[in-house]
Amino acid sequence: MGFVKEFKDFAIKGNVMDMAIGIIIGGAFGLIIKSAIADLIMPLIGIAGDADFTNMYIGLTEKARTGIDAYADANGGVMPLDEARALGPIFAWGNFTTVFINFLILAFVIFMMVKMMNKAKANFEKEEEAAPPPAPAADLVLLGEIRDLLKKD
């Protein structure tokens, strides 16, 4: 078997195609979940308090701390994390906290989806089990009657 034919057989196999489709759908689904968290869930959590900790950090060098303090004095607010990182090393505990909260929400949403799918699958299997067996075809019933009549004689 030639190399090209062997590769073609491999690439067209169902498992490889299923995996490719799964990766593509998974990527799109990841964007949906990311948007749901950022645009729907986090704002609701933010109503109770400031849920975005991204710009909470500690400058680890004197230069970074001085620049951060100068920005706060001049602008009356906290310097964005990206700008603070440009000044030097930053201990970005707030960004980590935000990412961790997003992960917990994502894990919970996926858990609930899997739980609903398992419940739906169990209900579907119960319906299949509970369904009565189909009635035999008319020709089989007729053949059975003929057999029974022949046995009597």
Residue 87 host element (H or E) = helix 81-87
Is 119 within a domain? no
- The predicted-structure confidence for 105-138, as pLDDT tens digits, reads as follows 878 878 888 899 899 988 888 877 777 778 888 8
Alpha carbon 151 to its chain centroid, in Å, reads 64
At 73-110, the pLDDT tens digits run 899 888 998 899 999 999 999 889 888 887 888 788 78
Q: Is residue 35 part of a domain?
A: yes
Q: Is residue 38 part of a domain?
A: yes
In a domain, 148, yes or no: no
In a domain? residue 16: yes
Residue 150 has pLDDT above 90, yes or no: no
Is 136 contained in some domain? no
Whether 117 maps to a domain, the answer reads no
What is the DSSP code (8-state) at residue 136? Answer: P
3-state secondary structure 34-57: HHHHHHHHHHHHHHHCCCCCCCCC
On whether the CB atoms of residues 84 and 59 are closer than 8 A, the answer is yes
Instruction: Yes or no: say if 53 and 81 are a contact pair by the CB < 8 Å rule.
Output: no
Structural domain contains residue 138: no
pTM of the complete model beyond 0.85: no
User: Which of 8-17, 33-42, 53-62, 127-136 tops mean pLDDT?
Assistant: 53-62
Residues 67 and 129: their CA atoms lie apart, in Å, by 70
Number of domains in the chain: 1
Q: Residue 20 is part of which domain span?
A: 1-49
